[in-house]
Amino acid sequence: MTRGGPRYWKHSDFASLSPGAVATSLSRLAREGELQRVAKGVYYRSTPTTFGPSIPAASTASAASLRAPIHPAGLTAANVLGLSTQNPRRPEYATPAAGPPTALKNALVHTGRPPQRASLSAEDGAILETLRERARSSDLPPKETARRLLRLLADEERFGRLVTAAMSEPPRVRAMLGAFGQQLDMPPRLLDRLRRSLNPLSRFDFGAVVSLRYAKDWQAK
């Protein structure tokens, strides 16, 4: 919990554990200074920056406390995934909702994302958003960006969730996910599902992850 970049923690992130034990642990970490309580049931972990510890933006804290599916996007997603250490001046999110939540009036919110995202975690959603934008918000060199995303996608259960959600994403997302999956030796059933969803005559811009070993096999330009 105390490793990696800045991020938010909620009681629901520990659904498999005792609610009482989770609440006690989060409160203790806040008292010890490891976390900051930014809203009811929402905690923030800062990291050092040139100007001192990173601080949670008010709109970001609001997003963490919303019940509606809200996922980090753009530079906010890159920050969550460890692809950037920048804290965007204006947080960026994506949601399946038709309009942005009023709690996020100071944030940039992309609406109308596929409803299949509703059950994804913030990190899962951030991965899809990063693939949507071809990882252009990453501060890392292209090959390190690809390596970081490979580590994030290495869990077969997560990869399977993202394959299901990606069926409603733009084709380039499915193509990139397929290239990652083949390099990670994911089950053929998952790769075949992605492959069948693509027009074999199309070519896709993989952006910062074009260095993937099987990018060309998945129709990268």
Answer yes or no: is 33 within a domain.
no
Band (143; pLDDT cuts 50, 70, 90): very high
The pLDDT of residue 69 is above 90: no
Q: Where are the alpha helices (DSSP H) in the chain?
A: 19-31, 58-65, 74-80, 122-132, 142-153, 156-166, 171-183, 188-196
Band (58; pLDDT cuts 50, 70, 90): very low
Answer yes or no: is 107 within a domain.
yes
Predicted local distance difference test score (pLDDT) of residue 158: 95
Which of 146, 141, 133 is CA-nearest to residue 182? 146
Q: Which residues of 3-41 are buried (b: 16+ CB within 10 A; e: fewer)?
A: eebbbbbbeebbeeeeeeebeebbeebeeeeebbebbee
Answer yes or no: is 71 within a domain.
yes
Domain count, the chain: 1
The parent domain of residue 88 ranges over 57-218
Answer yes or no: is 185 within a domain.
yes
Predicted local distance difference test score (pLDDT) of residue 130: 98
Q: Is the pTM of this model over 0.75?
A: no
Answer yes or no: is 50 within a domain.
no
Answer yes or no: is 43 within a domain.
no
Answer yes or no: is 166 within a domain.
yes
Answer yes or no: is 45 within a domain.
no
CA distances from 161 to 20, 96, 154, 210, 215 (A): 29, 17, 12, 23, 21
Share of the chain above pLDDT 90, in %: 51
Predicted local distance difference test score (pLDDT) of residue 32: 76
Other beta carbons less than 10 A from residue 147's beta carbon: 14
